[in-house]
Structure 1
Amino acid sequence: MIISYCVNPDCSEPKNHPKLKKCHSCGSNLILNNRYRAIKMLGKGGFGATFVGVDLTVVGDPLCVIKQLRPIADDAQALNTAISLFEREAKTLGKINHPQIPKLMDYFADNDRFYLIQELVNGQNLQREVKSQGVYGELALRRFLEDITPILKYLHSERVIHRDIKPANILRRKKDQKLVLIDFGAVKDQVNTQLAKTMGQTALTKFSVGTMGYAPPEQLAMRPIYSSDIFALGATCVYLITGKSPKNFAIDPDTGKLLWHENTNISGALSKVIDKMLAHDTKERYKTVDELIEALNLQPFQQSLSQNINNTPSGIQSKHISAEDFTMADATNSQLSNTLSATERLEKAIQERRKSGNKQNKLTSIKWNQDTFLTAVNNGKKDFSDQNLQGLNLEGGKLNKCIFRYAQLQGVIFTEASLSQANFYGADLSNTNFSNANLMQTYFSKTNLENSDFRGANLVGADFTNANLINANFCGANLKNAKVNQQQLKSAKVNWSTVFPDGSRHWWKVF
């Protein structure tokens, strides 16, 4: 049941009937700014709280995020200063327009508290992703950096420092798997920094300055600069590849460097990039995002490309691609476009090497069979990104929410398997058998599904954006609410028993 949630931090019973306008417990207004009603708390801290809310002035009461900020101000003068600073910083955020940053829809002050109303993004944050699916490997980390750095570059071009980059503030958007940067510390930290200077308070005792372990020294001293975000991004990388908060690692007493390298499978070249991101001395750190992007693009072909499995069960052997096996010459000979990203060039060159049949420099990867795969699944492994699973018989497998990004899955038998909310982004699924499988809300964006068999499959809510469906068989499949266009369906096989995205069976309309 939907409720009205009281946003008064001192309220003892915040849950209210959805029709009430005043809290039954403390009497506070439940309708903010005559427009927004909070319905669920997402989280809270010393400086405020975050809620899911509804906009009552728009038809359908669309969802939004309500961020409540409580300034640390002890008197009227300080409060007026805080209000002025809040409005200035909120206006700055309101000018930001980027598809991977939630839009600021509204802002206002109410009862000595500040509110930001933002677009609600449906997705899981990277902290939860790592906890549920395991730590990142090298290619996954590179994809992360290639997706997040343009967002940060845009933000800095707008003269905004995020101030609170960490895994919990980066979402993987469900609809397209893109990263979204949320929960700016810019407003609260800027307000508190100015208040600290005005009121003479010390930074470490009263004012919020970011998240420990992710905030660099200059930010803790209330002097954040653009490269402070680069430090926080480096600390985020450490979490993604280790599963541990940076504050839980020891510090080298001689150099001050974070000792995070042990038990990771990241190449030396990429490790050096992360170390430079984490430099305490701002003179030794990357000063701009462009410098970081350049460093990442200079060394994509010098890494070892370790293919170790996270949570590898006994009996599965991992093999490595060394720098000698894969050189810059491979990229040159493959005639790759200069406009491709480093990771795309890398992946395409690897694919060409696999196809080349060069016995002297043969590219090897993990050898999977049905038993080792199912053992890994039973041991809790969910992420099979980049793996070669061609030809496996996984009939009837329980594989809900498994991740197969960029995996080789040609000819795999998924008959009657449970694959709801699985992620096949960029995978090769040609000649794969999905007949009678449960594929509700499964993500097939940019996959190759040529000659695949979906007869009788449940594809309700599945996403086929930019997928190749040439000769895919959807006879008897349920595609209700699926994201698939007319042109894709024309290239596939359908019949009178196919349920189309609009719920109809008018198969002849496709042609």
Structure 2
Amino acid sequence: MTYCVNPDCPVPENSDSAEVCAACGSPLLLNQRYQPIRVLGQGGFGATFIARNMSLPGTPVCAVKQLRIASANPQAIDRARQLFEREATTLGKIGNHPQVPSLLDYFEDERQFYLVQEYVKGWTLKQEVKRSGPFDEAKIRAFLLETLTLLKYFQYQEVIHRDIKPANIIRRSIDGHLVFIDFGAVKDEVSQTMLLSDENNPNTAFAIGTPGFAPPEQLGMHPTYASDIYALGATCLFLMTGQSPKRFARDPRTGAINWRELIPVSDGLAAILEKMLQPQTTLRYSAAALVINDLQRLNAQATIATSPSTQQPIQPPTQPPTQQPIQPPIPEPIAPPPMPPAAIDPSLNPDFPYPGNSFTELPPSTEPTPAARSPRQPVRSPHSSNSTKKWKSLEQLHAEQNGDRSTDDSGDDMPPLDASNLTAARFHAPSSGSRTSFSSKTSDDERVTVRSLCRAYSQGHRDFANCNLSGADLHGIDLSEINFNESKLIRTNLSSTNLHRADLSQSGLSQANFRDANLTGAFLSYANLAGADLRGANLSSAHLSYANLNGANLSGANLTGARVTPEQLSQAKTNWRTIMPNGKRGLFS
């Protein structure tokens, strides 16, 4: 079936072979390539359709969002066009993140504006709760860590989502990661709540957000970064109860939601949620990074506690917190909770109120990295040329480099490799089911060496961000899904190493040896790969946005589906054996 997008069409359904609508005569192919096949949702300001891109082999599906302009006022149309172009720019920037739908195209047709985005297949969290029941505390903590990392990225990009709710978060069926969807109209600080308002009606404005999830200042048309944090806290209430927060009673003095007696969670998590849900912005977390810090501290307390009574809960503030500058995002990979069974093709979002459900843009920066899968589950990519390779375990590497010497857990009798190049980093023991991280705080007796990396990785730890392993020999081993974000791996030997879905974004990788390595789905955004040897490496579906490839050797590398621009590739060395992102060999691309 082909669907007519004319909002006035009385019978929009047409046959697949039709070129014009039988009922209204409108052309059915948008921009000469997109064939709408089903409506996902529509409202007073627009609609969302599933469409097929008829210009590409296999006619892949995508999501087409239509902004309808009801006014014939030229000034209103010009304002709509500016808004549309601003939205496209912001979505293009934010869409570099693997947990945000990519912007594929945008165009104007017959005074209607269209955005084409990646179609995300999976359940919304609203659907997941209805099918599988409420979340427990462990799943809420995992949810918060993953989504707060995304919020941290948005805030570093100076963007406010302004409509976070369970219906706007999808658990992607292919990998179980959470994806923020439904990015509506983008507005700057001056016009953040005005959409196509007529000059003769200056009071025509729209508060953006969903009642129950949007905080008071947002409904008063003054959203801040803290508004998204409130909405995320309100989303947690829904996930734990299946009820909209607007159904909860409120404190008549403060306006705070009275939820504590209804939801059984630990005092520590309750204190964090209470601070996220403070009606006053001065008492609420001002940045996602601050919530992450408290959540990690709570998890660390749970690790060392001998009983629940020994945990010290985080107290809600009694005075305004100190505002801290937003730092560049450092991802906190987590294992996603189990996916609901038999995921189908639910919509991106059945609602499309363009003046609602919106991002606010206020300029540019970096693309952080995604959450990793559960520990100790190396993944073999079906597209990897190395998929049948047997990688050495870290214990085997240990034995090869250090002989059969035995030692106690302290490892004092085994000197680190390349100790002069290794940066100190503190290691925290993990709690059950949680991930472990190396933080930037250091001590002289706790350094990331090849040995400590081996031991920690074999115990299920994956987070080694900000470490320095320059010059180390890590060739031929399994390091799938490891987090080396912002690390130094200059001249490190990673040849034939399994780095499937590894996080190497923002890392120093100049002159590193990745020859024949498995980098399928790896995250290398903003990495410095100048002079790196990537001959024969499998980079299928790798994320190389803004990576420095100057002088990198990609001869014989497989870049099928990789996110990389022709400009980047022009700086690297390729040959006829190089498989380009379009799947063709170098000479035929």
Q: Same fold (TM over 0.5)?
A: yes
For 1:16, the equivalent position in structure 2 comes to: 14
- Partners of 1:302 and 1:288 lie apart in 2 by 22
For 2:29, the equivalent position in structure 1 comes to: 31
The answer on 1:324 being equivalent to 2:226 is: no
5 Å matches for 1:393-432?
A: none
Compared CA separation, residues 446 and 285, structure 1 to 2 (3 A): closer
5 Å matches for 1:420-499?
A: 446=374, 465=379, 485-487=387-389
For 1:207, the equivalent position in structure 2 comes to: 206
Structure 1 range deviating more: 233-242 or 41-50:
41-50
- Partners of 1:486 and 1:244 lie apart in 2 by 47
For 2:59, the equivalent position in structure 1 comes to: 61
- Partners of 1:104 and 1:279 lie apart in 2 by 34
- Partners of 2:187 and 2:331 lie apart in 1 by 38
- Partners of 1:343 and 1:94 lie apart in 2 by 26
Compared CA separation, residues 340 and 10, structure 1 to 2 (3 A): closer
- Partners of 2:307 and 2:19 lie apart in 1 by 65
Q: CA deviation at 1:256?
A: 1.0
Q: Is the 8 Å Cα contact of residues 20 and 28 (structure 2) preserved in structure 1?
A: yes
For 2:298, the equivalent position in structure 1 comes to: 299
The C-alpha deviation readout for 1:214-258, integer Å capped at 9, x for no partner, is 122222222222221111111111111111111111111022111
5 Å matches for 1:229-240?
A: 229-240=228-239
Q: Is the 8 Å Cα contact of residues 215 and 228 (structure 1) preserved in structure 2?
A: yes
Q: Is the 8 Å Cα contact of residues 268 and 298 (structure 2) preserved in structure 1?
A: yes
Q: What SS does the aligned partner of 2:37 have? A: strand
Q: What SS does the aligned partner of 2:63 have? A: strand
Q: Is the 8 Å Cα contact of residues 465 and 484 (structure 1) preserved in structure 2?
A: no
Compared CA separation, residues 198 and 279, structure 1 to 2 (3 A): farther
- Partners of 1:292 and 1:18 lie apart in 2 by 50
The C-alpha deviation readout for 1:135-189, integer Å capped at 9, x for no partner, is 1111101111111111111112122211111111111111111111111134389
Compared CA separation, residues 186 and 262, structure 1 to 2 (3 A): farther
Compared CA separation, residues 267 and 51, structure 1 to 2 (3 A): same
5 Å matches for 1:347-386?
A: none
The C-alpha deviation readout for 1:104-123, integer Å capped at 9, x for no partner, is 11112222222110011111
- Partners of 2:36 and 2:73 lie apart in 1 by 28
Compared CA separation, residues 326 and 295, structure 1 to 2 (3 A): closer
- Partners of 1:256 and 1:489 lie apart in 2 by 57
5 Å matches for 1:226-265?
A: 226-265=225-264
For 1:102, the equivalent position in structure 2 comes to: 101
Q: CA deviation at 1:488?
A: 6.5
The C-alpha deviation readout for 1:411-446, integer Å capped at 9, x for no partner, is xxxxxxxxx78xxxxxxxxxxxxxxxxxxxxxxx65
The C-alpha deviation readout for 1:7-50, integer Å capped at 9, x for no partner, is 12222211111121211112222111222111111122232211
Compared CA separation, residues 30 and 123, structure 1 to 2 (3 A): same
Q: What SS does the aligned partner of 2:283 have? A: coil
Compared CA separation, residues 54 and 300, structure 1 to 2 (3 A): same
- Partners of 1:24 and 1:132 lie apart in 2 by 39
5 Å matches for 1:128-207?
A: 128-187=127-186, 193=194, 195-196=196-197, 200-202=201-203, 207=206
Which runs of 5 or more structure 1 residues have no equivalent in the other structure? 306-320, 329-338, 348-382, 386-400, 404-419, 422-444, 450-463, 468-479, 492-511
- Partners of 2:192 and 2:68 lie apart in 1 by 10
- Partners of 2:390 and 2:333 lie apart in 1 by 29
Compared CA separation, residues 298 and 181, structure 1 to 2 (3 A): same
Which runs of 5 or more structure 2 residues have no equivalent in the other structure? 314-329, 344-372, 394-589
For 2:537, the equivalent position in structure 1 comes to: none
- Partners of 1:341 and 1:211 lie apart in 2 by 28
The C-alpha deviation readout for 1:343-373, integer Å capped at 9, x for no partner, is 78xx9xxxxxxxxxxxxxxxxxxxxxxxxxx
The C-alpha deviation readout for 1:309-349, integer Å capped at 9, x for no partner, is xxxxxxxxxxxx95237799xxxxxxxxxx996978xx9xx
- Partners of 2:193 and 2:200 lie apart in 1 by 10
- Partners of 1:178 and 1:262 lie apart in 2 by 31
Q: What SS does the aligned partner of 1:65 have? A: strand
Q: Is the 8 Å Cα contact of residues 35 and 51 (structure 2) preserved in structure 1?
A: yes
- Partners of 1:37 and 1:340 lie apart in 2 by 37
Q: CA deviation at 1:482?
A: 13
The answer on 1:51 being equivalent to 2:49 is: yes
For 1:92, the equivalent position in structure 2 comes to: 90
Compared CA separation, residues 484 and 267, structure 1 to 2 (3 A): farther
Compared CA separation, residues 21 and 483, structure 1 to 2 (3 A): farther
Compared CA separation, residues 327 and 92, structure 1 to 2 (3 A): closer
- Partners of 2:220 and 2:2 lie apart in 1 by 40
- Partners of 1:293 and 1:84 lie apart in 2 by 36
Q: Is the 8 Å Cα contact of residues 195 and 206 (structure 2) preserved in structure 1?
A: no
- Partners of 1:244 and 1:484 lie apart in 2 by 47
In the alignment, residue 28 of structure 1 is paired with which amino acid?
S
Q: Is the 8 Å Cα contact of residues 297 and 342 (structure 1) preserved in structure 2?
A: no
For 1:435, the equivalent position in structure 2 comes to: none
Q: Is the 8 Å Cα contact of residues 81 and 195 (structure 1) preserved in structure 2?
A: yes
- Partners of 2:184 and 2:269 lie apart in 1 by 28
Compared CA separation, residues 276 and 326, structure 1 to 2 (3 A): closer
Identity %, equivalent residues: 44
Q: Is the 8 Å Cα contact of residues 171 and 179 (structure 1) preserved in structure 2?
A: yes
Q: CA deviation at 1:124?
A: 0.9
Root mean square deviation, CA, Å: 3.7
In the alignment, residue 48 of structure 1 is paired with which amino acid?
G
Q: Is the 8 Å Cα contact of residues 164 and 232 (structure 1) preserved in structure 2?
A: yes
Q: CA deviation at 1:484?
A: 11
Q: Is the 8 Å Cα contact of residues 270 and 303 (structure 1) preserved in structure 2?
A: no
Q: What SS does the aligned partner of 1:69 have? A: strand
Higher relative contact order (CA 8 A, sep 6+): 2
Q: Is the 8 Å Cα contact of residues 134 and 241 (structure 2) preserved in structure 1?
A: yes
Q: What SS does the aligned partner of 1:33 have? A: coil
TM-score (norm 1): 0.60
Matched residues, number: 346
Q: CA deviation at 1:466?
A: 6.0
Q: What SS does the aligned partner of 1:324 have? A: helix
In the alignment, residue 270 of structure 1 is paired with which amino acid?
L
Compared CA separation, residues 484 and 170, structure 1 to 2 (3 A): farther
In the alignment, residue 145 of structure 1 is paired with which amino acid?
L
